[in-house]
Amino acid sequence: MKFFVDTADIDQIKELHSYGMVDGVTTNPSIIAKSGRDIFEVTEEICKITDGPVSAEVVALDFETMLAEGRKLAKIADNIAVKVPLTWAGLQTCKALSDEGTMVNVTLCFSANQALLAAKAGATFISPFIGRLDDINLDGLELIEDIRTIYDNYGYDTQILAASIRSANHMSECAKIGADVATAPPAVIKAMASHVLTDKGLAGFMADVEKAGIKIL
């Protein structure tokens, strides 16, 4: 499973990239706004850190403006994936951009039917939002499983990009189901390395090392 980092924090992206944990990056205007920097400037900088897809989101709601924004974003770098909402205008934009050879990430997916439409429109990625479904007492992971079944049934190339991930458990569950990609905040990815028994075992090991007076260097 590929790891995309859901942030516009340059330092966090560089750190995780140095560990080999960045296969791509997802951003949106809200995330970038927190940095107080220009959206094109930040996006271009991110694209230079990773060769993987970098999702940059349109803000228009109508097809004509959405398409114009998508084309402008796509010019930032070759690894831009234009992010569009799962609306009819978004699907129309997805089809147009995909036909032009631009990667498209269709976002705000909350049903298997929506994911099926995105695949037929030629989406590179479909982003089902796990956490937001969990927030209203629906099973976000079940949606990932349903989409996986549908895509496998018909051989769609659209990659399932599990989004709105809130925990390390979400990451492992998505991997078991067969999501192609999971995008998560840096803190969630870092939490995947943590386990109380690892900490306990390391503490015991270090106590023994100190007691024995072992030195490597």
- Residues designated catalytic: 83
Of 186, 179, 192, 84, nearest in space to 140 by CA: 179
**How far apart are alpha carbons 205 and 202 in whole angstroms?**
5
Distance of CA 17 to the CA centre of its chain: 14
Rounded Cα distance between 84 and 1, Å, is 23
Residue 110 three-state SS: coil
What is the amino acid identity at position 53?
A: P
Q: Containing H/E element for 66?
A: helix 63-74
